[in-house]
Amino acid sequence: MLWRVRTTLADRPGYLAEIALACGRAEVNIVALQVFSTSPQVTDELVVRAPDGWTDVQVAELFEAAGGAGVSATRVSEASLTDAPTRYLRGAHQVLEQGRSVEHVLRELLETEPPDVADYTGHDVMTLTRRDGSHLHIDRAVPFTTAERDRAQALLSLVGGAGGEVPPATPSPRTEAPVVRAATLDDIEAVSAMHERCGAQTLYDRYQAPLTMPMTSRMTRRLVVPDAGTALVVQVGAEIVAHGVLECVDRTWTFRMIIEDAWQGRGLGTRLMRQAAGVAKHEGAARLAIVTAGSSDKLLRAVGNAGFVARVERHDGNVHITVPLREVRAVDVASSADR
């Protein structure tokens, strides 16, 4: 089993030897190494092969006991053994010759998929500048090194505006403020219309299956009045632009949400999460699992913006971001309207 380990060490001779000795004693094999100078310390990135059954906690404890600080351990694939310059050159080729989105390529190179970390308390944001002066933001739970930032900026500068980047549609200018509230049967048509405006990937991330047929009234009714829970919507003017379902099954509270493409990145996910957490707390929940089938980068960012500390896990192909509700203020669903 391969793990990428990041650790900070004092910049003096001998420290790396102690790490290597500790790994040897634990039968953990170092298969790749990069050193990022951050004087007066250094950040070492190692790819190690640990015995089957090891967890991220065990790997991190091994490095901490050997003198490492700020240790993070994330599970990786064999692709991580390819050297970085080769991977970035291939990335440039994919953008220039195959028309791939430079953002998607950079996210693969920087491995921004949710890491196998026990506790997520925030994220590091990399801001890159395109040739036209616009910015590209990429975030990850494991902090970026200076070298990674330089490589990413160099790639973006090289490919310029090439690739399959299509800016998302922007919503029409509105003066109404978004309102988060409980859904009712009167919202059936508006929720159905919101789904019609969502892209295929957005729908797949929410429902774990492609939705190729228009939503029926019966399907939408179950979304606004779920059998074992509560539905929340975000309303702007006369339109519903986001929807979430809070459910309790086998004493486990989960929340799944969908935000119309044109309204993503505007803080609606953070507001929906806060409201759902408050309603779940009012119903007696001790924790809430926020579930998605897709990349959880945006979801993790919303969790961090909401001020939650979360546990990131994978179950049956989905990402579960579990939030403890000790510090959350309870909200009565009957009056759960938030502007």
Confidence band for 160, pLDDT divided at 50, 70 and 90: confident
26-33 own/partner pairs: CB under 8 Å, 24+ apart? 26/50, 26/62, 27/51, 28/54, 28/59, 28/62, 31/2, 31/81, 32/80, 32/81
What pLDDT, on a 0 to 100 scale, did the predictor assign at position 294?
Answer: 62
What pLDDT, on a 0 to 100 scale, did the predictor assign at position 279?
Answer: 93
Hunting for tokens 């702007």 — which residue is that? 236
Return the higher-pLDDT residue of 117 and 315: 315
The arithmetic mean of pLDDT across residues 173-197, rounded, is: 84
Domains in the chain (CATH in brackets) are: 2-81 (3.30.70.260), 84-159 (no CATH), 179-335 (3.40.630.30)
Confidence band for 174, pLDDT divided at 50, 70 and 90: very low
Whether the CA torsion 133, 134, 136, 137 is positive or negative: it is positive
The arithmetic mean of pLDDT across residues 219-223, rounded, is: 86
CA distance 190 to 209: 22
321 φψ region: left (φ > 0), alpha (ψ -120 to 50), beta (else): beta
Pair of tokens at residue 294: 């897709």
What pLDDT, on a 0 to 100 scale, did the predictor assign at position 1?
Answer: 84
The arithmetic mean of pLDDT across residues 88-101, rounded, is: 87
Residue 37 near residue 44, CB atoms below 8 Å: no
* Average pLDDT across the chain, whole number: 82
The arithmetic mean of pLDDT across residues 83-107, rounded, is: 87
**Tens-place pLDDT, residues 273-301:** 899 999 999 999 999 988 887 656 677 77
Return the higher-pLDDT residue of 115 and 1: 1
The arithmetic mean of pLDDT across residues 155-159, rounded, is: 89
Pair of tokens at residue 145: 């090194």
DSSP bridge partners of 232: 182, 244
What pLDDT, on a 0 to 100 scale, did the predictor assign at position 72?
Answer: 83
